[in-house]
Structure 1
Amino acid sequence: MLEISNKVSIPDHEIDMQAIRAQGAGGQNVNKVSSAVHLRFDINASSLPEIYKERLLELSDQRITKDGVIVIKAQQYRTQEQNREDALMRLKEVIVAAMATRKKRIATKPTKGSQTRRLEGKTKRAKVKSARGRVSRYD
């Protein structure tokens, strides 16, 4: 059972995990041992509360398919047990991140002093640039 919060948890039978061979370097161990874990979690068929399902389906995460299935591949560690724990922790992080509410940004105006400093800087720069023009004999 994966504990998300005090009141929300996911039973083990809703999480599908398969052991597969890992990719990349590792020599004989990676070629012979199925140490990587492929985790699949169907959001729509889960026992999560509806608000969790809605927020998860709204996420623009590449790990969530169009069908509403979270797919996580864990192959960082050498043992299957460590990769299994890593996959479960990453699933928990996705669900917790979906429920995190972000503070609404309050629009502010620049101060009067910062506006005048900006305009003074622009006029100084304009004078420097205008002084770079051609020099005439009559000036």
Structure 2
Amino acid sequence: MIVYSEELKKEIKYKTSRSSGAGGQNVNKVESKVALLWDFENSSLLNPEQKILLKEKLQNRLQADGLLQIESSESRSQLANKENAFKKLVYVLQQSLKPSKKRVATKIPRSKILARLDRKSKHAEKKSNRRWRME
């Protein structure tokens, strides 16, 4: 499992751009929006099974060249946005590499089946009693 590590920080590249939203003149002149790019395919921190798992689970977040991109523009500070993007990356990795639980198939109890059938027959009887009959 990858933890908050310096090795991971060395493999990351950052791109900055002008952010949208509140901030006044700050928005127009400061590049505070941060896009974090990580090439996990060439990462030395992951084993091949983890790389395959990430490729499957993060398919919608990957760019055409295989880079994982995470953006942050919540703060007016570029440094705060870098830290926030890195935290998002760590969270995404932890969620993606977490083993999924196997579903245990269970059988419906006989009492529940009988109760459902009883409800159905009572409902059908109620409906049939509403019908107009010629006698």
TM-score (norm 2): 0.86
SS in 2 for 1:37: strand
Say if 1:10 and 1:64 are closer, same or farther in 2 by CA, change over 3 A. Answer: farther
Say if 1:130 and 1:111 are closer, same or farther in 2 by CA, change over 3 A. Answer: same
Aligned positions of 1:47-86 closer than 5 A: 47-50=44-47, 51-86=49-84
Say if 1:132 and 1:9 are closer, same or farther in 2 by CA, change over 3 A. Answer: farther
Say if 1:46 and 1:90 are closer, same or farther in 2 by CA, change over 3 A. Answer: same
Q: Give the Cα separation in 1 of the matches to 2:9 and 2:104.
A: 42
* Number of residue pairs the alignment of both structures matches: 134
TM-score (norm 1): 0.84
| Cα contact 2:32–2:76 (8 A) shared by 1 | yes
SS in 1 for 2:62: coil
1:34 pairs, out of 31, 51, 57, with: 31
* C-alpha displacement of 1:129: 1.2
- Higher RCO (CA-CA < 8 Å; seq separation 6+): 2
| Structure 1: runs of 5+ lacking an equivalent | none
Q: Give the Cα separation in 2 of the matches to 1:61 and 1:24.
A: 28
Task: Output one character per residue of 1:9-62: Cα deviation in whole Å (capped at 9) or x when no partner.
Answer: 634332010221112343322222111101110111221222321211121442
Q: Which residue of 2 aligns with 1:105?
A: 103
Q: Give the Cα separation in 1 of the matches to 2:93 and 2:46.
A: 12
The 10-residue stretch of structure 1 (63-72 or 119-128) with the greater mean CA deviation from structure 2: 63-72
| Cα contact 1:52–1:98 (8 A) shared by 2 | no
| Cα contact 1:14–1:46 (8 A) shared by 2 | yes
Aligned positions of 1:92-131 closer than 5 A: 92-131=90-129
| Cα contact 1:17–1:37 (8 A) shared by 2 | yes
**Aligned Cα root-mean-square deviation (Å):** 2.2
Q: Give the Cα separation in 2 of the matches to 1:81 and 1:132.
A: 72
Q: Which residue of 2 aligns with 1:24?
A: 21
SS in 1 for 2:130: coil
| Cα contact 1:75–1:83 (8 A) shared by 2 | yes
